[in-house]
Structure 1
Amino acid sequence: MTFQPLDEETALEAVQALQEHGSKRAAAIALGISRSTFRNRIKSAEKQGLTGRVPKAPEGFELKQLSEQIGKDGQVKSTSVKYTHEVGQEFKLPAGRFIGKVTTQVGASGEIEKEWIRHDWDKLTPFQVVELTKDFVKTLPWTRLKAFPAQHTENENLLTIYPLADLHLSLRATAEESGEDYDLERAQNLFNEKSAQIIQKSPKGGTALVAYLGDWTHQDDDKNMTPRSGHILEVSSSIFRAVRAGVQLAILHTYRCLAHHEKVIIKVVRGNHDLHSWIGLCLALQEHFRNEPRVTVDTSEADYWFCRWGMNLIGLHHGHRMKPEEMAGSMATECAKDWGETYYRLFLHGHLHHHIAKDVLGVHVECMRTIAPPDAHHSGKYNSPRSLISITLDKEEGEQSRASVNLKPIRRKAVSLEAA
């Protein structure tokens, strides 16, 4: 039997009843309908992507199986979704895909009961891959988040920079090796907590510049090696899960900024760990906020990026291709006109995982700390303080204030030989 989609209002009514009453039986009684009718309404809501648990099913498909892994804290850690063709529906190949192999189970009356399709992705052009990525982003449940107007419209001369460096999503560290456990789930929880705190500590209103300074993910592909030097990486998850988590974190962070500031400008620069995967973050953010006039995503490919805010000239770079003392010269060479017209110059980078600040040729060059702990390779060498900061600039008067959120330092205990 094929369930016809309900109108969105009726489907949402069922979802809200289930959330309010906690069980399908209680929700069905509250709505005055049978349990089977209620189950059909929830199934239709799932198919339309209205429950927030699964993406909307592609046209001609229906939800077959939903599996959720629950963590010790009772929260959903991961979700697995399987779709199948609607029974009796005419088969339509999703746009941009090519059939490699198909196995079909047909019922006695000729309708499709089950189907297994192997898609041949190798025939896709780069353009088709980009388009499919955009279509995928549109179906994700968190695309239903809305941008609420900022509550404060003053401070239009202020620009608050949120430098986000070296999160290394999917890095694996253990307490025995590094003094602290770290994996993809812990990284997400840590960033969600600390990034929300730094926004609340920053001045309200004005414009936000969210600067992703590279190494957002720990690995660039499933080889689990740095792309250029080939160093073996200890990872806690696949590149797919790392990129997906990175996109989700970045989208949520943008919505939080929109609730605090009038406008948000986003710039993603590549690092030596995410040499290619940064593209996914950049394009996903551009696609997600394509209809939001208060968000601008800069998609230029340059490793070194410069922007101007009144009398302030700002540069961004990961730090893997240029020494800090060379960054001032790069700014003067590439932005000669803006260099001559500005009073205050700031160049931000990451890569080194600890704070360094120096004034070079009239430019304040500053290396950002990370909130990620060291992995086994760096343990004992770079246990520098960890923090997130924001820097607020005035168009005419330069830097006005800073906010910071600090993490407790890693402390290890020496083994007592006397007790051995």
Structure 2
Amino acid sequence: MPTPPIPLEECWRRYNAWVDAGRKYQPAGDSLGIDGKAVQRGVDRLVKLGLIEDLKAAPPGFEVKAVTEQLDKHGQTAGKTIKYGHEVGGEFQLPAGRIIGKVTAQVGPDGSIEREWIRHNWDELSPFQVAELVREFAAEQAWTRLKASPLPHSTNEDLLTIYPLADLHLSLKARSDESGEAYDLETASSLFEKKSTDLIAKSPTGGTALALYLGDWTHQNDDKNETPRSKHKLEVDAPIFATVNAGVQLAIKFVYAQLTWHDRVIIKVLRGNHDETSWIGLVIGLHQHFRQEPRVIIDLGEADYWFFRWGVTLLGAHHGHRLKPEQMAGAMATECRKDWGETLFRLFLHGHLHHRIVLDVLGVQVECMRTLAPPDAHHSGKYGSPRSLTSITLHKEEGEVSRAFVNLDPVLRKAETAETLELLSYAAA
């Protein structure tokens, strides 16, 4: 509670005693039986109200703390010094978002509050209040969004077109003399944007699209630049923040491109051994961007294995770092027993191995998808398979009905000659 002001009658009584005591506060207080500081507060109030002509009123927000007079050799007032300080008392305004934690008061002999110390802390909001504040903040922002074309005229609700995206390895650093082709964040982004757009145009129009991220979307998981489990050192082109940011922007553009070709888009992001936690940035970024788009559905599950049913086809997906291809059919049969028995066709897609491998296991077509990324220095000479993107179209009653491909030129290295080596040696010298 604020300290009540001293009545004017009491202020004048203290002022007169102060004048009679030679303008000294403590002697005046002794004559009144109160503390000298209490006398000073009465005088200060008259000063602030402008009722005393021979003292300059304190500026707004301040009060007179002390008045010192200079006397001449005859004992007459020759000058006066007034000391001001921040005003004490009045109503305290608590800053927004804060709560009072502790109050300490200094009380004078007359029982009045002379000084107060107020400690305030941040108010502790519940998670629901925090979520509401974030929602309100987001609603006020002018989000920049691309615009998708209208729904395609030719559509077929029975079709599902899968776009398996395996091992793009954004920020992988490869040099042409080691891998046969230079590769970095900018190169990977431009390559994916162009080839994915071409792939969509080759796929059947209408129906539902499934953007299936099979892991290792980014080459590194954090700025340690090593694989999280094996601690294998990685050569990268950009820090993790720039890598994740570029990956989210690239994926957003890919969804908009799919919306121009298909009725709706389902998104599923799986972690790999390189992006064990950084994959979260991709799925959350996509979810936030498309959270109010009814034509986009995002699966937020965290499991390493994912199963999806489309009519008579059961689909499984996994990066491939925790389960061997020969084991994937068994995992599907064990975890999806009901759907396994009710479907006619079964397909399990994975990445991790960077080249196409197709196995028929227990009636399941287990397929490793190719990548767009060239081998880095560590894998140079090991991964020599073609690079491509593939879309797989399923019909609810007929199973797989078509595929589309976009191929890249193979990585070609040039053999050195004695003449070339001689020129290189001369240049180095």
Shorter-chain TM-score range: 0.5 to 0.7
Partner in structure 2 of residue 287 of structure 1: 288
Given that 1:137 and 1:288 are in contact with CA atoms closer than 8 Å, whether structure 2 keeps it comes out as: no
Report the residue type matching 1:160 in the other structure: T
Deviation at residue 378 of structure 1 after TM alignment = 0.5
Aligned-partner Cα distance in 1 for 2:257–2:206: 12
Report the residue type matching 1:313 in the other structure: L
Deviation at residue 151 of structure 1 after TM alignment = 1.6
Partner in structure 2 of residue 253 of structure 1: 254
Partner in structure 2 of residue 235 of structure 1: 236
For 1:266-277, list aligned pairs within 5 A. 266-277=267-278
Change (3 A) 1:282 1:316: same
Q: Which runs of 4+ in 1 moved over 4 A?
A: 124-142
Aligned-partner Cα distance in 2 for 1:214–1:286: 17
Does residue 154 of structure 2 align to residue 149 of structure 1? no
Partner in structure 2 of residue 116 of structure 1: none
After TM superposition, the structure 1 stretch with the greater mean CA deviation from structure 2, 394-403 or 138-147, is 138-147
For 1:12-411, list aligned pairs within 5 A. 143-411=144-412
Report the residue type matching 1:403 in the other structure: A
Alpha-carbon displacement from aligned partner over 1:266-323 (angstroms, at most 9, x marks no partner): 0000000000011111111111111111110000011000000000100010000000
Aligned-partner Cα distance in 2 for 1:129–1:182: 42
Deviation at residue 143 of structure 1 after TM alignment = 3.6
Report the residue type matching 1:181 in the other structure: A
Given that 1:134 and 1:284 are in contact with CA atoms closer than 8 Å, whether structure 2 keeps it comes out as: no
Given that 1:165 and 1:214 are in contact with CA atoms closer than 8 Å, whether structure 2 keeps it comes out as: yes
Report the residue type matching 1:191 in the other structure: F
Secondary structure of 2:162 counterpart: strand
Partner in structure 1 of residue 417 of structure 2: 416
RMSD value over aligned CA atoms? 2.8
After TM superposition, the structure 1 stretch with the greater mean CA deviation from structure 2, 339-348 or 280-289, is 280-289
Given that 1:247 and 1:284 are in contact with CA atoms closer than 8 Å, whether structure 2 keeps it comes out as: yes
Aligned-partner Cα distance in 2 for 1:138–1:353: 42
TM-score (norm 1): 0.67
Deviation at residue 211 of structure 1 after TM alignment = 0.1
Aligned-partner Cα distance in 2 for 1:163–1:307: 14
Deviation at residue 358 of structure 1 after TM alignment = 1.1
Change (3 A) 1:147 1:243: same
Secondary structure of 1:405 counterpart: strand
Q: Structure 2: any 5+ residue segments left out of the alignment?
A: 1-94, 98-124, 423-429
Identity %: 68
The count of residues paired between Structure 1 and Structure 2 equals 301
Report the residue type matching 1:200 in the other structure: A
Given that 1:369 and 1:388 are in contact with CA atoms closer than 8 Å, whether structure 2 keeps it comes out as: yes
Aligned-partner Cα distance in 2 for 1:404–1:140: 40
Given that 1:205 and 1:260 are in contact with CA atoms closer than 8 Å, whether structure 2 keeps it comes out as: yes
Deviation at residue 136 of structure 1 after TM alignment = 10
Report the residue type matching 2:382 in the other structure: K
TM-score (norm 2): 0.66
Aligned-partner Cα distance in 2 for 1:126–1:243: 26
Deviation at residue 152 of structure 1 after TM alignment = 2.8
Aligned-partner Cα distance in 1 for 2:194–2:131: 31
Change (3 A) 1:232 1:127: farther
Deviation at residue 418 of structure 1 after TM alignment = 6.3
Q: Structure 1: any 5+ residue segments left out of the alignment?
A: 1-91, 96-123
Given that 1:161 and 1:391 are in contact with CA atoms closer than 8 Å, whether structure 2 keeps it comes out as: yes
Partner in structure 1 of residue 28 of structure 2: none
Deviation at residue 177 of structure 1 after TM alignment = 1.1
Secondary structure of 1:144 counterpart: coil
